[in-house]
């Protein structure tokens, strides 16, 4: 099938369709979200609330909340302590393949970019896993580019089975699957699924996802629900902040997580907060720019709206930023990261998706956490 110019709101033949109204609820919520209508009083009310509602969340994401960042941070730190104590989970990602069939205009892995493509063999995966396990980590996130052909579900399943031999907690960040395929990977040993919508604005989504399965917006949107129906314990949400209007995308991400958890109360939910970096010297030109201030505002709003949700801080951010947000709002941090294909034990086989800004080892991150009075947690999960 020619996947160019397919209707981005229509499912392709093999894609499972759920009876769910979450998409409508999120889209209608975002459509009604006008962040310029909020006042300082709305922000103050949200900051005084002990149980924030959707309107409070909208206020905290609005421009008028920016001068309240310090108060938000203080409240967020208290909430984080109440729900997570001093615990900060450590993990590392392992890219096992970077083949991709999607044409996403913003992504280094996209199928029209001439990068070094690679896929690790079973033996190579095992050597990488051994090298990572030797650092003491117990949690791993397996990643692939989005290619069903090059990285089949069976291939990923074998990688998950291997990972489960060396790690107590295995997550996956791969292309969206049907619920039965998630069930298969769950049985192989994975229990957590990350899928990022990138942008929730359907028009923008269409513009930047030119071809490939990823172009189908609703199939991607319902990946978390299918994962939970497939037996996964937890799901992660995220928008690529800065791709479109970051305030609306952050609001949509929060609603997506909120409605999903409401529908599946047992689900463990978490957020990731990747951003597109603004061009230097262009700070005043684009209201969509996500500087550190805006990124922190989003993370704090997530924490205050859903205080029980996990928040992972990306390796794309600099050490000085990461060190300050752990314990304040973030609850999970990667360490010893290499975002090329392989590269922990083997020589790197394929190119990176993005540049990391924090190259510290597991020991270095462990030391940093302890110096900040936080407790590095290598495992907080038991498979039953």
Partner 1 sequence: MSDQLILGGHAFDSRFILGSGKFSLELVRAVAKKGGTQMVTLALRRANEGGTANILEYIPDGVTLLPNTSGARTAEEALRIARLARAIGCGDFVKVEVIRDSKYLLPDNYETLKATELLVKEGFIVLPYMYPDLNVARSLVDAGAAAVMPLAAPIGSNKGLATKEFIQILVDEIDLPIIVDAGIGRPSQACEAMEMGVDAIMANTAIATAGDVGEMAAAFKLAIEAGRRAYLSGLGRVLEGQGEASSPLTGFLED
Choosing from 35, 55, 69, 83, the residue that interacts with partner 1 (CB under 8 A) is 83
119/233 with CB nearer partner 1: 233
Site for partner 1 contains 380 (CB under 8 A): yes
Choosing from 20, 130, 138, 348, the residue that interacts with partner 1 (CB under 8 A) is 138
Choosing from 108, 136, 202, 218, the residue that interacts with partner 1 (CB under 8 A) is 136
* CB crowding 263-289: b at 16 or more within 10 Å, else e: ebeebbbbbbbbbbebeeeeeeeeebb
Distance of CA 122 to the CA centre of its chain: 26
Q: How far apart are CA 45 and CA 49, in angstroms?
A: 6
Choosing from 68, 175, 219, 381, the residue that interacts with partner 1 (CB under 8 A) is 381
108/136 with CB nearer partner 1: 136
Q: CB 50 → partner 1: shortest distance, Å?
A: 9
Site for partner 1 contains 31 (CB under 8 A): no
205/381 with CB nearer partner 1: 381
13/265 with CB nearer partner 1: 265
Number of residues that bind partner 1 (CB under 8 A): 31
Site for partner 1 contains 370 (CB under 8 A): yes
13/373 with CB nearer partner 1: 373
Q: CB 272 → partner 1: shortest distance, Å?
A: 17
Q: How far is residue 326 from each of residues 169, 200, 219, 276, 320, measured CA to CA in Å?
A: 20, 27, 32, 21, 11
Choosing from 49, 71, 87, 207, the residue that interacts with partner 1 (CB under 8 A) is 87
Choosing from 20, 49, 66, 86, the residue that interacts with partner 1 (CB under 8 A) is 86
Q: Which of residues 289-308 bind partner 1 (CB under 8 A)?
A: 306, 308
Choosing from 63, 67, 85, 320, the residue that interacts with partner 1 (CB under 8 A) is 85
Choosing from 84, 91, 184, 221, the residue that interacts with partner 1 (CB under 8 A) is 84
Segment near partner 1 (CB under 8 A); pick from 205-213, 271-279, 353-361, 370-378: 370-378
Site for partner 1 contains 78 (CB under 8 A): yes
Q: How far apart are CA 329 and CA 295, in angstroms?
A: 12
Query: Could you give the string, one character per residue 236-275, with x where binding to partner 1 holds by CB under 8 A and - elsewhere?
Result: -------------------------x---xxxxx------
Applying CB under 8 A, the residues found at the interface with partner 1 are: 78, 81-87, 136, 138, 261, 265-269, 306, 308, 366, 370, 373-382, 384
């Amino acid at each position: 099938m020619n996947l160019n110019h397919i209707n981005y709101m229509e499912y392709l033949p093999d894609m499972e369709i759920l009876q769910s109204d979450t998409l409508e609820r999120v889209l209608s919520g975002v459509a009604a979200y006008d962040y310029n209508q909020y006042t300082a009083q709305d922000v103050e009310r949200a900051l005084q609330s002990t149980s924030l509602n959707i309107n409070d969340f909208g206020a905290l994401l609005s421009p008028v909340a920016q001068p309240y960042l310090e108060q938000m941070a203080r409240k967020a730190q208290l909430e984080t302590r109440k729900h997570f104590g001093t615990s900060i989970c450590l993990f590392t990602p392992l890219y096992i393949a970077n083949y991709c069939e999607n044409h996403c205009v913003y992504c280094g892995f996209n199928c029209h970019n001439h990068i070094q493509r690679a896929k690790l063999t079973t033996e190579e995966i095992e050597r990488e896993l051994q090298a990572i396990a030797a650092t003491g980590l117990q949690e791993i996130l397996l990643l692939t580019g989005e290619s069903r052909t090059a990285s089949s579900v069976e291939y990923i399943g074998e990688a998950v089975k291997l990972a489960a031999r060396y790690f107590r907690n295995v997550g996956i960040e791969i292309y969206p699957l049907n619920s039965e395929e998630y069930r298969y990977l769950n049985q192989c040993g994975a229990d957590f699924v990350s899928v990022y919508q990138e942008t929730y604005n359907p028009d923008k989504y269409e513009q930047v996802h030119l071809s490939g399965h990823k172009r189908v917006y609703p199939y991607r949107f319902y990946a978390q629900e299918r994962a939970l129906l497939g037996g996964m314990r937890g799901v992660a949400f995220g928008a690529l902040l800065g791709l479109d209007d970051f305030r609306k995308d952050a609001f949509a991400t929060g609603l997506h997580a909120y409605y999903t958890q409401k529908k599946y109360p047992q689900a463990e939910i978490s957020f990731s907060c990747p951003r597109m970096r603004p061009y230097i010297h262009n700070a005043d030109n684009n209201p969509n720019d996500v500087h550190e201030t805006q990124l922190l505002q989003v993370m704090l709003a997530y924490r205050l709206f859903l205080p029980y949700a996990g928040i992972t801080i990306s390796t794309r951010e600099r050490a000085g930023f990461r060190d300050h947000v752990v314990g304040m709002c973030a609850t999970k941090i990667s360490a010893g990261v290499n975002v090329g294909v392989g590269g922990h034990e083997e020589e790197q086989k394929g190119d990176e998706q993005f540049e990391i800004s924090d190259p510290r080892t597991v020991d270095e991150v462990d030391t940093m956490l302890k110096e900040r009075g936080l407790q590095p947690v290598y495992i907080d999960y038991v498979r039953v």
